[in-house]
Amino acid sequence: MSKSSDFLLSSKKAQKLYDSYAKNLKIVDSCSSFSSREICENLNFENITKLWISNGVSGDNHKLDLMRKAGIQERQINGDASDWEKFNAFVKTLELSYANPVYERSLLELQKYFGLETTLDSKNAENIWNTLNAKLATDEYKPRSIIAKSNVDIIITEDDLTDSLEYHRLLSIEEKRFRVLPGWSPRRVLNISSKNFTSFILELSISTDVEIEDLESLETAIRIRMNYFSENGCSIAIHDLENFCFEPSTSHDANCILEKVLAHKELSTSEIAKYYAYIQKFLLKEYARRDWTLQMYGGSSKSDKGISSSICNFFKDLQKQNLNANCNQIFQPRVILYSSDIDNYYQLIALNYNQKFRFGGELCENSKGVDIFKQLEVYANVDLLGNFIQAHVNAQSFIGLAQHDYFRRAFCNFLADLMSSGRIRKNSNSIRQLVENVCYMNAKRQLGL
């Protein structure tokens, strides 16, 4: 891997674009896997394994999956092996992983935050282990310091709709270098097929003091929690598309289905899809009334054409309701759809009939610089490149925030290639604005921040 100064930047022109326009931009981490509690408590990491690979409870799934592909024993991945053994096992995995995007991003993380330009291999693993751990013992490598060093403006966490948001409140008082805002996640209320759904309904009922026995009382409880989130700084909803499904449905359909599951009866696939679609539409109407932005991500990395089709059908049905009601503003919030499946762009761009949709890339496990090029090229063909929103990076460790830098480097390299081939004429002001919009301002504007 090259030195961090020219990583992914294949020409002087690309490096100049990055250094002049992208390098020092603020970051909007729009859908973070970070815990607001961990940020608030701000404790030192015990060692580099705990920060970078796995803390024994959760970890960087991309790295852990790569270790499994390398044949590493499970005890050295998420088992009872020592943290040193796990670190050494990951180093051995990296030695097999040249050109893999996880390899590239892993070393970029160490370069950016620890200044590590030395090749990480089995020979120097113990020395680097000791060096990194010594740094982690200092205040400079506590969670909040790492976030501030990353030049973060805003972090949006993904929070269950029953969350107390106590740590967000504390951070709003204590931390002035960046903001940590809650992101509303309705995952559990949508997942009616879960064996824990009735337990969730009881939890929601207790947290809102509403006895939930039908659709009307469920909607009342959801609105109460939305109001609570709004009072605590939330204006973003986060929907995971992994199990997105759609069948046209009415409130009567949804009410019958809900009462059926509350009576502990089995649901058909069709009933699950009808309930899911109705609750999605109800949620979107509530988001629009509160001027929230909806972020939709996930699922697309598997190129699931069924999911793409379901999303299209869902929004077409929503648009039909809007047009029939002749009041678009009530029913549809701003939407950002993050996708690494470029086929989604072709299908979904047509839905942008009122400019409420925006699209962003998604850095999934296997996304490389060349994949970012493909996303950008296709998007530029079917919409406007200047509307694109920097990729959802799904950083699974605090130093994983370097993935924002990964995208920005790839984007600047993409622009430099267009300029070299004569497809873009030199205009420093417009290029600067393009870089700033795609890498920062578009997200901030579309998120209403």
pLDDT band at 370 (very low <50, low <70, confident <90, very high): low
List the one residue out of 219, 242, 225, 218 whose CA is nearest residue 184.
Answer: 225
pLDDT tens, residue by residue, 17-38? 999 999 999 999 998 889 999 9
Under 8 Å between Cβ of 246 and 185: no
Alpha helices for 264-401 (secondary structure H): 269-289, 305-325, 328-331, 342-348, 369-382
Total number of domains in the chain:
2
User: Where does a domain end: 125, 141, 157?
Assistant: 141
Distance CA 345, CA 349 (A): 6
For residues 277 and 294, give the distance between their C-alpha atoms in angstroms, rounded to a whole number.
15
Q: Which domain covers residue 119, as residue numbers?
A: 46-141
- pLDDT at residue number 302: 44
Among 141, 162, 179, identify where a domain stops.
141
Q: Is the pLDDT of residue 367 over 50?
A: yes
182 and 105 both lie in a single domain: no
pLDDT digits (tens, 9 = 90+) for 57-110: 778 888 999 999 999 999 999 899 999 999 999 999 999 999 898 999 999 999
Q: Mark whether 108 and 184 lie in a shared domain.
A: no
Confidence grade of residue 409 (pLDDT, cut at 50, 70, 90)? very high
As a whole-number percent, the residues of the chain with pLDDT over 70 amount to 88
CA distances to 88, 125, 294, 442, 444 from 448, in Å: 44, 45, 11, 10, 6
Burial of 335 (0-12, 13-18, 19+ CB in 10 A): buried
98 and 168 both lie in a single domain: no
Q: pLDDT tens digits, residue range 211-269?
A: 999 999 999 999 999 999 999 999 999 998 777 888 889 999 999 999 999 999 999 99
Q: Is the pLDDT of residue 369 over 70?
A: no
pTM of the model: 0.91
For position 237, what pLDDT does the model report?
Answer: 97
Are 332 and 419 members of one domain? yes
CB count in 10 Å sphere of residue 241: 19
Please report whether residue 214 resides in a domain.
Answer: yes
| pLDDT value at 298 more than 70 | no
If asked whether residues 107 and 253 sit together in one domain, one would say no
For residue 6, tell me if it sits in a domain: no
User: For residue 251, is it within any domain?
Assistant: yes
Residues 6+ apart with CB under 8 A from 70: 92, 93, 96, 97
Among 97, 117, 141, residue at a domain's last position: 141
Does 53 map to a domain?
A: yes
Determine, yes or no, domain membership for 303: yes
Q: What is the CATH number of the domain that holds 121?
A: 1.10.2020.10
Residue 182 maps to a domain = yes
Distance of CA 299 to the CA centre of its chain: 12
What CATH number has the domain bearing residue 301? 3.20.20.140
What pLDDT was estimated at residue 364? Answer: 61
pLDDT at 300: 43
Q: How many whole angstroms from its chain centre is CA 111? A: 23
pLDDT band at 429, cuts 50/70/90? confident
Helix (H) or strand (E) holding 357: strand 357-362
Q: Which residue from 254, 336, 340, 262 is spatially nearest to 292, judged by alpha carbons?
A: 336
251-262 helix and 197-208 helix, angle to the nearest 10 degrees: 100
Over the stretch 177-201, which tens digit does the pLDDT of each residue have? 999 999 999 999 999 999 999 999 9
Let me know whether 156 and 111 are in one domain. Answer: no
DSSP secondary-structure letter at 170? H
Per-residue pLDDT tens for 308-323? 667 777 777 776 665 5
Query: Would you say residue 372 lies in a domain?
Result: yes
Please indicate, yes or no, whether residues 247 and 266 belong to a single structural domain of this protein.
yes
Alpha-carbon span 172 to 444, nearest angstrom: 19
Say whether both 427 and 336 belong to one domain.
yes
Q: Rounded mean pLDDT of 406-423?
A: 93
Q: How confident is the model at residue 1 (pLDDT cuts 50, 70, 90)?
A: very low
How would residue 345 be classed by pLDDT, with cut points 50, 70 and 90?
A: low
Mean pLDDT to the nearest integer, 375-403: 87
Please provide the average confidence, as pLDDT, over all residues in the chain.
89
Pairing of strands 152-160, 179-185: parallel
Within this chain, do residues 136 and 153 fall inside the same structural domain, yes or no? no
Joined together, the tokens standing for residue 378 give: 């296709």
Residue 157 has pLDDT above 90, yes or no: yes
